[in-house]
């Protein structure tokens, strides 16, 4: 179960970082491309969320190394 949690966490972090990078690229090329809010701020928030998920993944990996398998 812990392996599934770590895999899903890393997958979500990768998706958020990729979306953040895409939005940041679109914001730099065409600032008025999307109609919802400030696109650059949304991209930075996605980067922060992805970074937090990577930190959660690292902590879960460190905890699982110290615990015996059930």
Domain ranges in the chain are 1-66
pLDDT digits (tens, 9 = 90+) for 51-70: 888 898 888 888 888 876 65
Is there a contact between 27 and 43 (Cβ–Cβ < 8 Å)? yes
Q: What is the pLDDT of residues 7-22, one digit of tens each?
A: 888 888 888 888 888 8
Confidence of residue 35 (pLDDT cuts 50, 70, 90): low
Around Cβ 34, how many Cβ atoms within 10 Å? 13
Angle between helices 2-29 and 39-66 (to 10 degrees): 160
């Amino acid at each position: 179960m812990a392996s599934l949690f770590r895999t899903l966490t890393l997958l979500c972090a990768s998706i958020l970082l990729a979306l953040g990078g895409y939005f940041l690229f679109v914001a730099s090329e065409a600032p008025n491309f999307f109609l919802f809010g400030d696109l650059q701020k949304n991209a930075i928030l996605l980067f922060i969320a992805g970074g937090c998920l990577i930190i959660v993944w690292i902590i879960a990996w460190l905890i699982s190394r110290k615990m015996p398998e059930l």
